[in-house]
């Protein structure tokens, strides 16, 4: 059966799925336009057209799933035209940093921050002392109702049903793949970026949080319960990590 759960795994499939959301018009447009994008991407990446309906259904689930916010709920389909950036590249200067410096930062916060296991993350860090520049790409950043959100698309295959993408499974995947370290670095970069470009910027007011969206497990009926890992790191942690870096 051709479903998003049986769609091929691996890096090739991940690049294909990322490309769809990189090119997708979240502000709407005819369904035929979205279907054409899927058809073209399948062809460009060498996948059979038999996957057309299941990929289109997955895209519908992702853009229609609603997220809670301070004032109201919203979905990605509610983003206004021109209010998102894909593949946002960043550079920031890195002072002399060692793994022990970062480990100490994360250990200090491990008892005050429960979204991810910072103690395990600290113990896993082993790298040569570094100095220079940090460069990366954020899959997408968007603005909705004055708040800015950081999105990362994840094509990980965790199982053959929505229930395999519950919160405990997502948290385990985040920690195993060190995605938590990834989004903390992204948040440092985005916080600096927004502070230079948004008038009267305040992290607590303008930063909406991090959304790691596990594409195969999202369901508009189940909402954020499945396929959605969400976090809003404390501003004090981001400031301390910024100072470390």
pLDDT (0 to 100) of residue 203: 97
Number of other CB atoms surrounding residue 93 within 10 Å: 9
Residue 139 bears catalytic tag: no
Query: Is 157 a residue whose pLDDT tops 80?
Result: yes
Q: What is the pLDDT of residues 174-194, one digit of tens each?
A: 999 999 999 999 999 999 999
| DSSP string computed for 59-108 | HHHHHH-EE--SS--EEGGGPPTT-EEEEEEEEEEEEEE-HHHHHHHHHH
Exactly one of 71, 152, 200, 231 is catalytic; name it: 152
The pTM (predicted TM-score) of the whole model is: 0.95
Check pLDDT > 80 for residue 232. yes
pLDDT tens, residue by residue, 5-46: 999 999 999 999 999 999 999 987 777 888 999 999 999 999
**pLDDT for residue 114 is more than 90:** no
């Amino acid at each position: 059966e051709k479903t998003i759960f049986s769609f091929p795994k691996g890096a090739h499939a991940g690049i294909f799925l990322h490309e769809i959301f990189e090119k997708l018009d979240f502000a709407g447009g005819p369904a035929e336009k979205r279907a054409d994008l899927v058809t073209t991407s399948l062809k460009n990446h060498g996948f059979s057209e038999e996957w057309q309906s299941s990929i289109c259904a997955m895209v519908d689930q992702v853009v229609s799933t609603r997220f809670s916010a301070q004032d109201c709920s919203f979905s990605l389909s509610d983003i206004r035209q021109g209010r998102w950036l894909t593949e946002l590249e960043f550079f920031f200067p890195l002072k002399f940093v060692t793994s022990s410096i970062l480990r100490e930062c994360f250990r200090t916060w491990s008892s005050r921050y429960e979204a991810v296991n910072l103690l395990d993350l600290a113990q896993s860090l082993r790298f040569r002392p570094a100095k220079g520049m940090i460069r990366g790409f954020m899959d997408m950043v968007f603005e909705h109702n004055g708040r800015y959100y950081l999105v990362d698309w994840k094509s990980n295959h965790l199982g053959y049903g929505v229930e395999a993408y519950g919160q405990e499974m997502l948290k385990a995947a985040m920690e195993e793949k060190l995605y938590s370290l990834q989004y903390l670095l992204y948040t440092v970069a985005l916080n600096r970026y927004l502070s230079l470009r948004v008038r009267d910027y305040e992290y607590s007011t303008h930063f909406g949080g991090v959304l790691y969206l596990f594409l195969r497990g999202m369901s508009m009926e189940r909402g954020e319960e499945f396929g959605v890992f969400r976090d809003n790191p404390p501003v004090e942690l981001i400031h301390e990590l910024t100072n470390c870096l």
